[in-house]
Structure 1
Amino acid sequence: MMNYMLKDENAIYYECGFSCDNALYLSLGSEAFFITDSRYTIDATKNVQGATVVINRDLYGEAVHLLKRSRVKKVVFDPKEWSVDGFERVSSQCKIKFDPQLDLSHKKRIIKSDEELKLLAKAAKLGEKAFKALAKEFRKDGFGEDEYTLTYRAKGALSHLGKYDLSFDPIVAINANAAKPHATPTGTKLAQNDLLLVDAGLKYKRYCSDRTRTVQADSGFRFDTKQKFISKKIQKAYDTVLKAHDNAIAKARSGMKAKKVDALTRDIVTKAGFGEYYVHSTGHGVGLDIHEMPYISTKSDTVIEDGMVYTIEPGIYIPDEFGIRIEDMVAMVDGKAVVL
């Protein structure tokens, strides 16, 4: 039985059904401990499952005490979760072998349970509903507003006016700013027939959604995949991205390596003459974190399996001109990709 310690909120939540911003989790043999401070006594006592709740403001000191008492000889941890200070405060006090294993929790979480698939599907459907509401709001009041204001409004629509947390800060990018895959807001104002890219998602019971649409913002636009652009160059690029997106969803299969799925989008973009403008991987896993395994990239040998959830999001980004991305989340079900 593996002994391990966790510091990341979502990693801890996955183990015991609760986490907070100041907690440490230990799994030692047949025992598990959720260590937190007195601010979270009520919630932790009520919600933590399968672990003993220990209240101590000195999380690291309590962890050292429990580790020494347990007499375990090796403990696994993910270095990505720990600050240098936090790790040294534990490891320097214990004569234990600490075994670093990158992505410890993400590897455990790569195959989603049926319940997780339901939660992710619900998050995706709520995200789709929010995109419809956002299009309506932008059509009515968005023209003449800058990206700062549009992003603020996107946060309200995506959260259903505060009911849900966001998966990440929304990306709302107009024309040339959309050529930056992770664009930040500018003072550019939305005008009729501008290219508008929106990448956003929300959380349902902590599980994330992620979706991107690129549109020509005319008076009747909607955030769907059928788009017509005045510019022939933009239309060609858009049609290429959509073809790549649809091809990967149609042809992805369990048993494929992730780099093969990446090729299902990249080959189409490259053949159309836009290969140098496709500057990121095809997708990433989604779950409790917005970026999880599997990573759908040119170098990934991960074998795609049923129960995995990931994005398909090809893009074309031409500096100082425009950017296009179309993104949906898929789950592998009975060997095929199903859009959530």
Structure 2
Amino acid sequence: MNYILRDENAVYYECGYSSDNALYLRLGSEAWLITDSRYTVEAKEAVRGAEVVEASDLLKAARALLRRHHVRRLVYDPKEWSAAAMEGLMRKLPHLYFHPQPAFSHRKRMVKSDAEIALLKRAAELGREGFDRFAQVVRERGIGEREKRLHFEAKAAMSHHGEYDLSFDPIVAVNANAAKPHALPTEVRLAKGDLLLVDAGLKYRRYCSDRTRTAYVDETLRFEEEQRFASARIQKAYDLVRKAHDRAIERARPGMTGAQIDRLAREVIEEGGMGEAFVHSTGHGVGLDIHEMPVISKRSDTVVEAGMVFTIEPGVYFPGEFGIRIEDMVVMREDRVEIL
């Protein structure tokens, strides 16, 4: 197959190296990593299975290779390319058919190797350690602090004070702010008896982790599944989300579609009378990108196979009041899912 990649993680997956100015071109059994002089020394040390080409104009270098090898068909992911970049690539190649395949690299990467699963497992373990570290911060000095300060502390704790990159900007939300699934930090101060939702992850050797916990705030705060809230309404909602989370993990099997796994969680919340408050999908794939395939949603017809890694993260959200989400990363094995 002939294809060209521009996304950094897609390029890294193919050859073990990427930069913010590089193209990966594969033509049959031959491959090239095209980059500029700022990166060629490092690229030649790291790239595997491809020849490093130094060029000041990456698109011009790619066109030259395509002409030299008389290529007639080239696959690309339109989500990776701007209109201007594609126009530059297609220039003076009138006989070349550019075949768009959305999510081309994500589809290739959907089933993880044992080595990738080991990296994702380690990322998840380190992420849990980050949650434990942040819980200690909240217990010792977090009560009374603003969400913005807690957000800063979460970034420090999750990154192990800069040792690891973060998978994404953490979500740290108190009470009503937690009713926004992607809440931004505010000036609200954390108080004893509050609800605290934290969604965060880190990268281990570029592979991401993703975890969410919702906790009752007091001097014994822990980001564990077992939680006891003072409000009976919040407790009912929390127990329902936990039941949905646990049921989806217990009953998901290889061969199910993403929609069927989504249904395992969603029907629990619907039967509990809170279906309208579950406003997002049950999960998403995780790998080099924080959002990959498969999608675990009510519209997903992707068949989930052994080796696929994804999240299970049901939630309910009541604007102006509170929100609850519980999320774990799992890998589908030959007979069931395993929490990473």
Alignment TM-score, normalising by the size of structure 1: 0.99
CA shift digits 1:106-141 (9 cap, x unpaired): 000000000000000000000001100110011111
Q: In 2, Cα distance between the equivalents of 1:57 and 1:168?
A: 31
| 8 A Cα contact 1:110 1:308, kept in partner | yes
Residue 44 of structure 2 corresponds to: 45
Q: In 2, Cα distance between the equivalents of 1:64 and 1:189?
A: 56
Residue 281 of structure 2 corresponds to: 281
- Stretch deviating more after TM superposition (37-46 or 8-17): 37-46
Q: In 1, Cα distance between the equivalents of 2:189 and 2:64?
A: 58
| 8 A Cα contact 1:305 1:335, kept in partner | no
Q: Structure 2 counterpart of 1:94, which letter?
A: L
SS of 1:212's equivalent in the other structure is: strand
TM alignment of 1:133-144, pairs within 5 A: 133-144=133-144
Q: Report whether the alignment pairs 1:261 with 2:261.
A: yes
Residue 62 of structure 1 corresponds to: 61
The structure 1 segments of at least 4 consecutive aligned residues displaced by more than 4 Å after TM superposition are none
TM alignment of 1:1-340, pairs within 5 A: 2-95=1-94, 96-340=96-340
SS of 1:117's equivalent in the other structure is: helix
| 8 A Cα contact 1:143 1:190, kept in partner | yes
- Stretch deviating more after TM superposition (56-65 or 96-105): 56-65
Q: In 2, Cα distance between the equivalents of 1:92 and 1:333?
A: 46
| 8 A Cα contact 1:199 1:210, kept in partner | yes
Aligned residues between the structures = 339
Q: In 2, Cα distance between the equivalents of 1:63 and 1:316?
A: 48
Alignment TM-score, normalising by the size of structure 2: 0.99
Q: CA deviation at 1:219?
A: 1.1
CA shift digits 1:273-311 (9 cap, x unpaired): 100000000000000000000000001111111000000
SS of 1:89's equivalent in the other structure is: helix
Aligned alpha-carbon RMSD (Å): 0.6
Q: In 2, Cα distance between the equivalents of 1:151 and 1:288?
A: 24
Segments of structure 2 that go 5 or more residues without pairing to the other structure are none
Q: In 1, Cα distance between the equivalents of 2:213 and 2:230?
A: 17
Q: In 1, Cα distance between the equivalents of 2:118 and 2:224?
A: 23
Identity of aligned residues (%): 59
SS of 1:260's equivalent in the other structure is: helix
Q: CA deviation at 1:93?
A: 2.4
Q: CA deviation at 1:92?
A: 2.4
CA shift digits 1:188-212 (9 cap, x unpaired): 1111111000000000000000000
Q: CA deviation at 1:53?
A: 0.3
